[in-house]
Amino acid sequence: MRFKVSDQIRSIKPYVAGKPIDELKRELQISHVIKLASNENPLGFSPYVYRAVISMLNDMNRYPDSSGYLLTQKIAQKYQVNPSNVVIGNGSDDLIALLSTAFLEQDDEAVMPYPTFLMYEITVKASKAKPVMVPLQDFGINLDSLLENITAKTKIVFITNPFNPTGSFISKDAFNDFMKKVPDNVLVIVDEAYIEFSRDQSIFNSLAAPLTDPRIISLRTFSKAYGLAGFRVGYGIMDNEISDIIQRIRQPFNVNSLGQAAACAAIEDLDFLQRSIDCVHTGIDFLTAGLKNLGLDVLPTESNFLMVNVKTDATRIFKKMLSLGVIVRSMQSYGFDTFLRINAGTRAENIECLKALETVLAEG
């Protein structure tokens, strides 16, 4: 191409999202499809959200509130931080990109576990910096190995807790030990997209941490536990000096009016949040038992999804399940050739998923 593009950008592999339900319906010409592939909320979202969004529709000729005033206030109140510590984003993906843009220069390095959520690698490369990928150990983040890979060029370390895709987690003790060895000028981005689902009391929770340790940035999202994935709302809690920088470079209207209204309503409905969490716990336990019954090995998980070893080519199984109208994820592209990732659905979805997998495995 005659237009110059940097090697980093050229090396980005396009993000592959979970297959959309409507796409599979079109392809197979069937009307019933279930999706347990993108860790979405099987219960939908709070009725408060529905009402708030309908009433916001009347104002959609106006630009959104660029400061996200109300939503920022509500988040700050919920987590007992100052509004100036909160930055909202068009999903937490947006915040990952903003942080990479703000803090990475050419030749800088960002250390991350491998394999993991692809947005870290993509945004680091888009910022012309170098992702340093540190292999997992026993399906979890290897904190010692992350530390060994920190150099004078390192500006950011990415941590996901609980971890996607394996469901493993980092304890308070392990994280605090880790932070003792992280240099003062390195930011540690803790992506807690799934933390609401964690049942282990020893898990590290970063929310109050940025106030005592400016290196730590917590990222959270309304996409999972609150069921607002389509609205695209995430937020970060960070030290004032960092939020001041991010506020300068974010698009003024990065969270649209419907997203702001939806998130403001969702954060008030604690009952829906609790039902969502309960549904995930029930679903994970049900799927785990059902998969073990099929003779399969399931990784323990603190999240709303689990990884299962189907002991054969996972992509082949994934495709056969697709033909039965069940969308899950093959973990082959993550290097886990025989693993599927399945998120907890409703009881009916979980039953259907187990049946489809049993049918497919019986075919050999």
Ligand X SMILES: *Cc1c(COP(=O)(O)O)cnc(C)c1O
Q: Which residue ranges make up the site for ligand X (CB under 6 A)? A: 39, 91-93, 117, 160, 164, 191, 193, 221, 223-224, 229, 234
Our CB check for ligand X shows the closer of 96 and 360 to be 96
Q: 122-147 burial, b if ≥16 CB within 10 A, otherwise e?
A: bbbbbbbbbbbebebeeebbebeebb
Q: Which residue, 42 or 325, has its beta carbon nearer to ligand X?
A: 42
Q: Which is nearer to ligand X, 166 or 325 (CB)?
A: 166
Q: How far is CA 142 from CA 50, 93, 135, 137, in A?
A: 42, 23, 7, 6
In whole angstroms, the minimum distance from the beta carbon of 61 to ligand X comes to 27
Shortest approach of ligand X to residue 333 CB, angstroms?
15
User: What's the angle, vertex CA 146, arms to CA 141 and CA 152, rounded to 5?
Assistant: 160
Residue least distant from ligand X (Cβ): 91
Contact 340, 310 (CB under 8 A): yes
Contacts of 311 (CB under 8 A, 6+ apart): 296, 297, 338
Q: Which is nearer to ligand X, 53 or 96 (CB)?
A: 96
What is the chain's alpha carbon radius of gyration, rounded to the nearest angstrom?
21
DSSP class per residue in 180-249: HHS-TT-EEEEE-TTGGG---TTB---TTHHHH-TTEEEEEESSSTT--TTT--EEEE--HHHHHHHHHH
Residue in this structure with the two tokens 């394996």, named with its chain if needed: 166
C-alpha distance from residue 7 to each of 1, 196, 348 (Å)? 13, 38, 47
| CA angle (338, 164, 247) in 5-degree steps | 150
Q: Mapping DSSP to helix (H, G, I), strand (E, B) and coil, where does residue 342 land?
A: strand
Nearer to ligand X, 333 or 358 (CB): 333
Nearer to ligand X, 130 or 341 (CB): 341
Of 166 and 221, the one with the shorter C-beta distance to ligand X is 221
Residue 163 or 290: which CB sits closer to ligand X?
Answer: 163
CB of 142 to ligand X, least distance (A): 17
Give least dist CB 4 to ligand X, A. Answer: 30
**In the complex, what is the shortest distance from the CB of residue 223 to ligand X, in angstroms, rounded to a whole number?**
3
CB of 3 to ligand X, least distance (A): 29
Query: Do residues 329 and 18 lie in contact, with contact meaning Cβ atoms separated by under 8 Å?
Result: yes
Q: How far is the CB of 25 from ligand X (least distance, A)?
A: 23
Closest approach of ligand X to the CB of residue 266, in Å: 13
